[in-house]
Copies of this chain bind each other. A is one copy, B any other.
Amino acid sequence: MVTHHNASRRSESSRRAILTAALELVNEVGYAKLSIEGIAARAGVGKQTIYRWWPSKGTVLFEAFLMLNEGEDGEPAALPDTGDLEADLKTVLRATVEELNDPRYDEPMRALNTAIAQDSVLAAAYAERLDGPMKEVKKQRLRSAQQAGQLAGDLDLDVAVDMVWGPVLNRWLQRSAPLTTDYADSVVTTALSGLRPRDSAS
């Protein structure tokens, strides 16, 4: 038998309290020590109210991130387009680096990544709801450049996006080395020009 939760009767105030509490707590204690019990207590809510609507702490956290992002507006803002692709990408990637270095964002984002690593269903939801739209915006900027002839015509934009953001995200996640804005610049420059020597036959 299936229990049909009547979402129309759902308490919106409890929902927001839970998501807010989850964000606060993940900042304070990290993902490992984040607990349903703790979220319920902080939110002033019964544990059952969380279990009724979410299957795990990871999904609560994910929805909390969704709330954050949708708080601003429906869709993520487009990337700047001054016509100078390299400058635009450096601007954006530097901002990303600074966000990732900000303790206010670092801990929660790391938590979200941990949640994804442990739950492939959640990973799919993340890909669709959060990462997907972001990636679309990035691809849009690259598409514009491609149409202006600044990128190779046969370039796979999915790969291209990974080429620019992948190294930065990976260095952040694995903490393999300090994440600096200089590094972001290097990645952009190198990705655009490639590893091989350019023809100097000018």
Contact = CB atoms under 8 A, between A and B. Distances in A.
Contacts of A135: 176
Given A162-B187, A191-B194, A193-B152, A174 B116 contact: yes
B150 A196 contact: yes
28 contacts: A32-B118, A113-B173, A117-B173, A123-B175, A123-B176, A127-B174, A149-B197, A150-B196, A151-B196, A152-B195, A155-B190, A155-B195, A158-B177, A159-B186, A162-B167, A162-B170, A162-B171, A162-B187, A163-B187, A166-B169, A173-B173, A190-B194, A191-B194, A191-B195, A193-B196, A194-B194, A194-B196, A198-B199
Interface of A: 30-32, 110, 113-114, 116-118, 120, 123-124, 126-127, 131, 135, 142, 149-153, 155-156, 158-160, 162-171, 173-177, 183, 186-187, 190-199, 201
